[in-house]
Structure 1
Amino acid sequence: MAHQRLALQPLRHCQRSLVAHTHPRLLSTTAPRSSSSSSSSSSSSSPNQPPESQTASSQPPPTPKKKKPLTPAQRSFLSSALRVNQAGELAATLIYTAQTPPVVAREPHLRPLMRHMYEQEAGHLRTFEALVARHRVRPTALYPLWSALAAGLGWTTGVMSREAAMACTEAVETEIGGHYNGQIRTLLEMVAGWEAEGYDVGDEFRDLIATLRRIRDEELEHLDHAIEHDAKKAQPHWLLTGIIRAGCRGAIWVSERV
């Protein structure tokens, strides 16, 4: 399947400096000593000479900075980032959808928490679906496979126990949080390089970085919820979280490329 490059062009952002204004100097109000000196002064002045405030010229605004085109490597990175983020958020919504019925059946008090985490993941998914469509990024070809595996993982851990379900969230969010951090670092390096060369970054890139930071923070909030609800008590915790984290890393690697 042909790989579509990301058509992400920074929005035009024109930085304008304030126009400097000059003000008329205060003039002396001392009365003339004689009518002759007054008429002499008056005759020496050119009747067509404009006031000083009108002759002062305003400083023109600086020329807007240019936008630097994305390199093929940068386009490839952004395309793969959006593709894998969309796939990851889809998997997260399916995990919570499958976990919630068995977990809530045993622990009714967890219904608001499970709904809260699901709704945040659903919001993340809508965000990346919009970005993928806007920039014409090809979704991963393994969408059906990841969907089946995510639903199976959610149902299995939900049936096992509340602790196992929370350990699943702990493992997934640990990997996803680190994944988003890596994307943010790469984007910040790109921005720093453009600014050092005197190019304009534009609002679109800054908005994307802000969006990734917000979503990362919400994912790490889910990690905190899982720890608070006894994720570490799942047995065997090290094996369960180790397998899930390895699966997440593998899914990320494949989705970035396929």
Structure 2
Amino acid sequence: MTNSLQPALPLPFSTPSLAARYLRVDHAGEFGAIQIYRAQILIGRWLGRAQVAVLEDFLAHERRHLATFGEVLAERGIRRCRSFALCGAGGYALGLITALLGERAVMACTRAVETVVNRHLQEQLAHLADSDPRAHAAVASIVHDELEHRDVASEHVGRDDTFTRAIDAVVAAATEAVIWTGMRL
């Protein structure tokens, strides 16, 4: 027990603000997306798939997004998320698996990831609008690209069937799990 003359015991670590957790998870998520696209491009080139150019365009966006969040984290002296490596390894595995399943699986993967990500980005924007203008601007700067990825992927998937719905369900659940985990690490 402490009294007013005794200093409180310091915590072994500080609890990051909600904005900091958003930024860290977004940064890790962008790294995961980069790894998904890298794996899909690798397999796509190997198999001579037409969608490689679209994936390379998406990859360029994701690299820019990673840099955006990296800059904001650096400005604030915030370390990256503890789930960063998990996002990278999981993203690469997801990219390889979906690439081996075919072009529709690749695009269903992108659509599922971006659907979940965009829902979370909208929640972040609503929360950050009045509380953290710099974090809000960083999140807002990527929304257009992420919506475009989702929409282009949806066009490539075409009509849904059992296969694409199964990929959607698995990938969306995995994406939600990674976000949930990252927000708590």
TM-score, structure 2 as length reference = 0.85
1:246 aligns to what?
173
| Structure 2 residue aligned with 1:124 | 65
Asked whether the equivalents of residues 87 and 140 of structure 1 are also in contact (C-alpha less than 8 Å), the reply is yes
Structure 2 counterpart of 1:2, from 13, 19, 29: 13
Q: Which amino acid aligns with 1:255?
A: G
Which residue number corresponds to residue 43 of structure 2? 102
The one of 93, 96, 104 equivalent to 1:155 is 96
Q: What is the 5 A alignment of 1:126-145?
A: 126-145=67-86
Question: What is the aligned counterpart of 1:214 among 130, 137, 141?
Answer: 141
- Whose helix proportion is higher, 1 or 2? 2
Note the C-alpha offset of 1:210: 3.3
8 A Cα contact 1:167 1:231, kept in partner: no
Residue 108 of structure 1: CA displacement?
4.0
Taking structure 1 as the reference length, what is the TM-score of the superposition? Answer: 0.62
Instruction: Report the 3-state secondary structure (helix = DSSP H, G, I; strand = E; otherwise coil) of the residue aligned with 2:78.
Output: coil
On the 8 A contact 1:163/1:232 being kept in 2, the answer is no
Report what 1:257 is aligned to: 184
2:101 equivalent to 1:90 = no
Q: Distance in 1 between matches of 2:30 and 2:83?
A: 14
Q: Against the structure 1 CA distance between its residues 148 and 220, is the aligned structure 2 distance closer, same or farther, given a 3 Å change threshold?
A: same
Give distance in 2, aligned partners of 1:224 and 1:163. 14
SS of the residue 2:14 aligns to: coil
Of the two, which has the highest radius of gyration? 1
For 1:152 and 1:234, how far apart are their aligned partners in 2? 23
Which residue number in structure 2 is paired with residue 19 of structure 1?
A: none
Cα 1:142/1:206, change in 2 over 3 Å:
closer
Aligned-residue RMSD, C-alpha: 1.9
Contact 1:164 1:235 (8 Å CA) reproduced:
no
Aligned match of 1:236 in 160, 163, 166?
163
CA distance in 2, matches of 1:81, 1:232: 34
Separation in 2, partners of 1:137, 1:231: 41
Structure 1 alignment gaps of length 5 or more: 6-75, 192-204
The 1:169/1:159 distance shift into structure 2, 3 A limit, reads: same
Quote the offset at 1:230 in angstroms. 1.7
Give how far 1:239 is off. Answer: 1.7
Deviations 1:25-69 (A, max 9, x none): xxxxxxxxxxxxxxxxxxxxxxxxxxxxxxxxxxxxxxxxxxxxx
* Residue of structure 2 in register with 1:172 after alignment: 113
Counterpart amino acid of 2:142? I
Give ranges in structure 2 of 5+ residues lacking alignment: 1-11
The one-letter code matched in structure 1 to 2:18 is F
Percent of residue pairs bearing the same amino acid type: 29
Q: Write the letter of the residue equivalent to 1:174.
A: T
Quick check: 238-247 or 136-145, which moved more? Answer: 136-145
Q: Aligned partners of 1:231, 1:170: CA distance in 2, in Å? A: 11
Further displaced range: 210-219 or 169-178: 210-219
Q: Say if 2:28 and 2:81, in contact at 8 Å, map to a contact too.
A: yes
